[in-house]
């Protein structure tokens, strides 16, 4: 017996609800998400198994980066209609944003079994395969998408990423140039080319790139960096700062600034030292996660240097864990940090270790900094190096990433 015959099916939708559904979809297309969701929910109050409303609320939640909230709507929608290629593709996108890459891949494969000529689903499938460290398979998926749609600039960009993963940098540059010629996101492509040495490196990663990366990463961030990447920088750095406080006989409580606070991994470590704890980050979604920890007195959505420029001298301690990997030229940050720290205030941060030049943009899209550069910045901006440790600060594709953990004192 076909098990699908037992699945409940929604009855025909009454004319009034059909009109409401059309109106909701039109509002959705216009970007009026709250209004569209309200109408979808009104329909579900009458017809709880209305497929379009379930599916499209899931889509709205995904558009709002509320990925966990989207999951039950997709699951219910696919319970009503398990053969919707569109819903399966959209559900895959949500699962991928939650870091559930195996489930995402399965959802894309189901979608493509129903509609094999969908270049978007093939591109998204390639992205999941990259996350699963299967760059050869990802490349094949992007190539299938581009055979169907040769001018698909976004797929060309991701194809460049897969080629970079494979170490085929010349081919990656060619892919990015092709995406550039096809009208792809110019700033993003220039940045990717700079990571491969084919364009001049910018002084920092583009703000939109960083915000978008971490907004999408927020729900999966803690689990991914702590468990998969063995990320221990917050603990190591705060331990170094506590030792520095003890050695200088600094008494608390302190006014503390956590730059690039992300989801707040440093928050529980800093809270016992703090009279006031302020977190700053560029990603609203990461800040929402930090807010759930209830450790911070203030959370601010801002770029690091811009935030510092607007502050008086009010902090005893500043922390920047895994932040400067997205800022190459640290001149402004050091200058402004000196202004906001009180005399003898401490500044602790981590960087990936570079050699030769002051800073370099790597193929990983992250900056590395040389020790000579950090020492020169300290001397120029009135900081004394209190402690410095060379450490493996995270993993990248199962290999240790070398870095420096540094604590400086404002003189």
95 shares a domain with 42: yes
Report how many domains make up the chain: 2
In a domain, 206, yes or no: no
Domain boundary (148, 170, 195) is at 195
In a domain, 201, yes or no: no
> Percentage of the chain with pLDDT > 90?
84
In a domain, 200, yes or no: no
Which of 238, 241, 239 lies closest to 345 in space, CA to CA? Answer: 241
366 shares a domain with 327: yes
245 shares a domain with 375: yes
CA 335 to chain CA centroid, Å, is: 27
152 shares a domain with 243: no
Burial state string for 161-190 with b = 16 or more CB within 10 A and e = fewer than 16: bbbbbeebbebbbbbbebbbebebbeebbb
221 shares a domain with 166: no
pLDDT, tens only, 200-228? 999 999 999 999 888 877 777 767 666 66
* Cα–Cα distance for residue pair 126/135, rounded to 1 Å: 8
In a domain, 202, yes or no: no
Residue 175 pLDDT > 50: yes
Written as one string, the DSSP assignment of 70-129 is HHHHHHHHHHH-TT-HHHHHHHHHHHHHTT-HHHHHHHHHHHHHH-TT-HHHHHHHHHHH
Domain with residue 366: its CATH number is 3.40.50.150
In a domain, 56, yes or no: yes
Which of 130, 113, 134, 112 lies closest to 121 in space, CA to CA? Answer: 112
Residue 3 pLDDT > 60: no
291 shares a domain with 330: yes
343 shares a domain with 257: yes
188 shares a domain with 321: no
219 shares a domain with 167: no
In a domain, 318, yes or no: yes
The angle subtended at Cα 319 by Cα 268 and Cα 64, nearest 5°, is 70
Is residue 375 exposed (0-12), middle (13-18) or buried (19+ Cβ within 10 Å)? middle
Name 171's Cβ contacts closer than 8 Å, sequence gap at least 6.
163
Residue 77 pLDDT > 60: yes
When pLDDT is averaged across residues 322-331 and rounded to a whole number, the result is 96
Residue 11 binned pLDDT confidence (cut-offs 50, 70, 90): low
219 shares a domain with 130: no
Structure-block tokens of residue 343: 């005399």
Using omega within 30 degrees of 0 as the cis cutoff, is the peptide bond preceding 156 cis?
no
225 shares a domain with 160: no
Q: Which pLDDT score, from 0 to 100, does residue 398 have?
A: 74
* Cα–Cα distance for residue pair 175/219, rounded to 1 Å: 30
In a domain, 12, yes or no: yes
Which of 367, 248, 379 lies closest to 317 in space, CA to CA? Answer: 248
* Cα–Cα distance for residue pair 70/80, rounded to 1 Å: 16
Which domain range does residue 296 map to? 211-410
Integer CA distances (angstroms), 68 to 21, 94, 293, in order: 24, 8, 17
Structure-block tokens of residue 181: 């010629």
181 shares a domain with 221: no
When pLDDT is averaged across residues 67-76 and rounded to a whole number, the result is 96
Torsion angles phi and psi, residue 366, rounded to 5? -125, 145
pLDDT, tens only, 262-308? 999 999 999 999 999 999 999 998 999 999 999 999 999 999 999 99
Average pLDDT, the chain: 92
Residue 394 binned pLDDT confidence (cut-offs 50, 70, 90): confident
Q: Which pLDDT score, from 0 to 100, does residue 2 have?
A: 39
Residue 7 pLDDT > 60: no
* Cα–Cα distance for residue pair 103/72, rounded to 1 Å: 14
Domain with residue 174: its CATH number is 1.25.40.10
In a domain, 191, yes or no: yes
């Amino acid at each position: 017996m076909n098990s699908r015959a037992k699945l409940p099916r929604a009855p025909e939708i009454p004319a009034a609800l059909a009109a409401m559904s059309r109106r909701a979809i039109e509002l959705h297309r216009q970007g009026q998400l709250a209004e569209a969701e309200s109408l979808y929910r009104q329909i579900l109050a009458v017809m709880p198994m209305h497929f379009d409303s379930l599916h499209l609320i899931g889509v709205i939640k995904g558009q709002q980066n509320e990925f966990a909230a989207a999951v039950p709507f997709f699951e219910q929608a696919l319970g009503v209609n398990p053969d919707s290629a569109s819903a399966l593709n959209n559900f895959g996108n949500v699962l991928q944003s939650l870091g559930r890459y195996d489930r995402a891949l399965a959802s894309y494969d189901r979608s493509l079994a129903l509609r094999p000529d969908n270049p978007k689903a093939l591109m998204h499938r390639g992205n999941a395969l990259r996350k699963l460290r299967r760059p050869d398979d990802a490349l094949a998926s992007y190539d299938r998408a581009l055979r169907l749609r040769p001018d698909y600039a976004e797929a060309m960009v991701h194809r460049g990423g897969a080629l970079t993963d494979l170490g085929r940098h010349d081919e990656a540059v060619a892919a990015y140039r092709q995406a550039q010629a096809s009208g792809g996101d110019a700033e993003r492509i220039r940045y990717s080319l700079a990571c491969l040495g084919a364009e001049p490196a910018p002084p920092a990663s583009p703000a939109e790139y960083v915000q978008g990366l971490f907004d999408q990463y927020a729900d999966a961030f803690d689990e991914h960096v702590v468990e998969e990447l063995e990320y221990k920088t917050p603990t190591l750095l705060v331990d170094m700062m506590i030792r520095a406080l003890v050695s200088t006989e600094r008494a608390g409580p302190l006014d503390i600034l956590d730059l690039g606070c992300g989801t707040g991994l440093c928050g529980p470590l800093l809270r016992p030292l703090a009279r006031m704890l302020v977190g700053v980050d560029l990603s609203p979604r990461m800040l929402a996660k930090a807010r759930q920890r209830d450790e911070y007195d203030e959370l601010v959505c801002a770029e690091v240097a811009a935030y510092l420029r607007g502050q008086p001298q009010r902090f005893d301690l500043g922390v920047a864990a895994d932040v400067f990997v997205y800022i190459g030229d640290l001149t402004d940050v050091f200058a402004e940090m000196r202004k906001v720290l009180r005399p003898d205030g401490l500044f602790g941060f981590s960087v990936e270790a570079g050699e030769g030049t002051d800073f370099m943009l790597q193929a990983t899209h992250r900056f590395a900094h040389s020790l000579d550069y950090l020492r020169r910045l300290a001397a120029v901006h009135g900081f004394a190096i209190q402690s410095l440790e060379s450490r493996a600060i995270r993993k990248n594709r199962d290999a240790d990433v070398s870095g420096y953990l540094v604590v400086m004192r404002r003189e």
